[in-house]
Amino acid sequence: MRVLIVDDSRLARMALRKALPPALSREVTEAASGSEALRCIEGSRFDLMFLDLTMPDVNGYELLKTLQDTGRMLPTIVVSADVQTLAVERVIKLGAIALVKKSFRSSELDQVLVRAGLL
Amino acid sequence: MASPQADATAALGPAGLAVDFLARLIDRINVGIVTVDADGTVMQWNRFLHAHTCLSPEQVIGQNLYDRFPELPRAWLERKLRSVFLLKNFAFTSWRQRPYLFRFDNHRPLTGGAEPMRQDCTFIPLEQDGEVKAVSIVITDATDTYESQTRLDEAVAALAAQSERDALTGVYNRRKLEQVLDAEMKRARRYNQSLSAVMFDIDHFKRVNDTHGHLVGDEAIKHVASRAVAILRVTDFVARYGGEEFVALLPGEQIAGAAKAAERLREAAAKPFTALSEVPLSVTISAGVSALRPDTADGKALLAEADKALYASKAAGRNRVTIFTP
Amino acid sequence: MTPLLLSEEKRDALRELVNIGMGTAAAALAAALGTFVELTSPGLEVTDRGSVAKQLDTGAWRNSEIEAVRQPFFGAFTGESVMLFDRPAHAELAGMVGYGPESAVVEQQEVLLDVANVVIGACVNGIAESLAELVSFAPPTRLGTRADVRAFLSREAVAWQQGLIVNVDFKLEARSFLSRVLVFLPEPSMLRIDQALSRLLDGLAAG
């Protein structure tokens, strides 16, 4: 599976990469911003995207909307520090599969992947 | 297999005490502790609270806190507890913002007045399986601190009322000026002496504040005040009359001499200075001068004339001294 | 001036830890205020005490009427945090929890204390938890206005040479406020954080 990780924090990208199960760790690309992610998606096909919400230029919400509008939507799991109910609703409406709380000690990621049929 | 009784006393809670000792400690400690679950049902109620409400644990545990104590500020308390349940963080209240949570009488042996107990509260999340299942509210009697603070505040207020000086510049304050003005008027009349007044303020002061900030503005005020004190005589009075406005009283000085002094002050104030040891600045002042005449009604009238002259300085372009002419 | 201890990589890491903490805080505040809360920490600087003071007199804070709250913390690392609000924040937050303009000043102040408790807790805990460390908090108290903050920086912050400045953008639906969290850490605590960050980063880099 070709995986794209989008987050402006290098630490977060490292942590997420480490948390991925082996099945998803073989082909991983990282993007440090919303615009970089768009460029990656335009250039290659990805099977799964992990997306942060709070990024400086094009944030997570905007990226999802752009992908929806241009018909380039791909299976997305939002990984974010912001876990308000309203945030979850917003990202689901924009086409994401789920919202997972960012944490260095979370086992939530595996559960979500299983539920989504990606594992 | 050990007997159930041996198990109970052998079981150690946190901090190494047997669990039943811990329970006794919570019950007897000299602060109030009440624990509620997410629905507001009371789970625990200690002796301190029993003593202050005459309600035993049996009468409170299992009931809804707000039903049992309708005088509690429900909306505020629910919000407060909700944030502890969500965030797993301690929360606090202080008597300084909220005098008390539960209204208890304060039981001071000798001085116990009609005032209710002042309380500091701490809200403690109790977690299980990663979720907050209950919150304990610890209620501490803060009445002593409240009483000390009140006495302190009263002493400070009394002191301030007697104070003569302006805190920022060290020159006299307006209240003192008005007292001095009265006294000097009386003396000048009795001994047939001169008395002059100079009213001056910083030109375009608002612009200084807007450009450089309030702190630099304060420095400008201090600068002008210090020039005034340096230039005027020991027997002259300099006071801060308003924000950036000053009044100087010159006993024994006639109007011409006062105008000369005002001009020297204008020059000195206009010299560049450094604010906060890095901001180079210069300001100008406008001044109005008046002097006691046989027909001057009182101190207020003397100042009013200086004020009119100050206004004329402003109108004529600022950074100048104007003498009042009747 | 003491050389700043944290490398760029570690500062980036700290920024992310604070961000995670802010997410939790936003959720709690959203529930408390009954509205969508956006808390972002776009900037985190490691700086010295003098710069902190200077920054208050320049830029966005220059003409703000400041209301400040202070809260000490202790445990794995010890220090003190100060949260700054601008005047509009004060009134708006009080309004959001249902206090009208005629309500007592102390009630409005209490809201600031509560919000500061949540945000400072999130900021400092965000760092502590991710580093698997334990930190406890003393109650927050009102520090005061700009003059009081200045006095605090010149007098009481003497033990702390280095500090973190975390700019917290606080958006409530349509309204947005300026706020800032300052975290003052004495050198031993900065060192502990530096070491804990090393452990975290090494752990992530390894296999």
DSSP B32-43: EEEEEETT-BEE
Which residues of chain C from 160 to 189 reach within 8 Å of chain A, CB to CB? none
| Pairing verdict, β A2-6 and A48-51 | parallel
Tens digits of per-residue pLDDT, B155-205? 887 787 678 888 889 899 998 999 999 999 999 999 999 999 999 999 999
Beta bridge partners of B288: B199, B322
- C204 and chain A: CB distance < 8 Å anywhere? yes
Domain count of chain A? Answer: 1
Give pLDDT, residue B277: 64
Of A83, A85, A104, the CB nearest to C23: A83
Give pLDDT, residue B3: 46
Q: In C, which residues are within 8 Å of A18 by CB distance?
A: 204
**Which residue type is seen at C25?**
A
Give pLDDT, residue B35: 97
Distance from CA of C93 to the nearest CA of B (A): 14
Of A11, A14, A86, the CB nearest to C36: A86
Quick check: is C19 in a domain?
yes
Interface contact C125-B89, CB threshold 8 A: yes
Q: What is the CATH number of the domain that holds C84?
A: 3.40.1550.10
What is the CATH number that goes with domain B31-154? 3.30.450.20
User: How many CB contacts within 8 angstroms connect chain B with chain C?
Assistant: 67
Of the candidates C70, C69, C67, C65, the one whose C-alpha atom is nearest the C-alpha of residue C85 is C67
Phi, psi dihedrals of residue C194, rounded to the nearest 5°: -60, -45
3-state secondary structure of B248: strand
Give pLDDT, residue B249: 97
Of the candidates C202, C195, C186, C194, the one whose C-alpha atom is nearest the C-alpha of residue C73 is C186
- A83 and chain C: CB distance < 8 Å anywhere? yes
- C113 and chain B: CB distance < 8 Å anywhere? yes
**Which part of chain B has CATH 3.30.70.270?**
174-323
Query: In this structure, are residues C190 and C4 in contact, taking their beta carbons and an 8 Å threshold?
Result: no
Host domain of residue C56? 8-205
If phi over 0 gives left and psi between -120 and 50 gives alpha, with beta otherwise, what is residue B253? beta
Interface contact B87-C25, CB threshold 8 A: yes
Residue of C nearest to A102 (CA): C20
3-state secondary structure of B285: strand
Q: Report the interhelical angle of B255-270 vs B214-231 (nearest 10°).
A: 140
Query: In this structure, are residues A15 and A40 in contact, taking their beta carbons and an 8 Å threshold?
Result: no
Give pLDDT, residue A104: 63
Of C117, C136, C146, the CB nearest to B91: C117
Comparing A16-25, A63-72, B279-288, C5-14, which segment has the lowest mean pLDDT?
C5-14
Of A11, A18, A82, the CB nearest to C26: A82
Host domain of residue A68? 2-115
Beta bridge partners of B305: none
Interface contact C27-A84, CB threshold 8 A: yes
Please identify every stretch of chain B with a pLDDT value under 50, giving residue numbers as ranges: 1-9
Query: In this structure, are residues B281 and B164 in contact, taking their beta carbons and an 8 Å threshold?
Result: no
Query: Using CA atoms, how far apart are residues B222 and B207, in angstroms rounded to an integer?
Result: 17
Q: Which residues, 6 or more positions from B92, have their beta carbon under 8 angstroms from its beta carbon?
A: B120, B121, B122, B123, C113, C117, C139, C140
**Which part of chain B has CATH 3.30.450.20?**
31-154
Phi, psi dihedrals of residue C101, rounded to the nearest 5°: -65, -20
Give pLDDT, residue A12: 87
Q: What is the pLDDT averaged over residues A4-14?
A: 89
Quick check: is C188 in a domain?
yes
Give pLDDT, residue B7: 47
Give pLDDT, residue C87: 75
Whether pLDDT at A74 is above 80: yes
Give pLDDT, residue B37: 96
Give pLDDT, residue C89: 76
Give pLDDT, residue B9: 46
Query: Using CA atoms, how far apart are residues A114 and B150, in angstroms rounded to an integer?
Result: 63
Domain count of chain C? Answer: 1
Choices 3.30.499.10, 3.90.1200.10, 3.30.70.270, 3.30.342.10: CATH for B174-323: 3.30.70.270
- C137 and chain B: CB distance < 8 Å anywhere? yes
Run means of pLDDT, 10 residues per run, chain C, 207 residues: 69 84 78 74 74 77 85 88 83 73 75 88 83 87 87 69 71 73 82 86 76
- B210 and chain C: CB distance < 8 Å anywhere? yes
Interface contact A84-C19, CB threshold 8 A: no
**What ipTM does this complex have?**
0.73
Give pLDDT, residue B314: 95
| Pairing verdict, β A2-6 and C66-75 | unpaired
Phi, psi dihedrals of residue C188, rounded to the nearest 5°: -55, -35
Quick check: is C77 in a domain?
yes
Interface contact C139-B94, CB threshold 8 A: yes
CA-based torsion, C48, C50, C51, C57: positive or negative: positive
Q: In C, which residues are within 8 Å of B279 by CB distance?
A: none
**Which residue type is seen at C150?**
R
Which residues of chain B from 121 to 140 reach within 8 Å of chain C, CB to CB? 122
Q: Report the interhelical angle of B74-87 vs C8-33 (nearest 10°).
A: 150
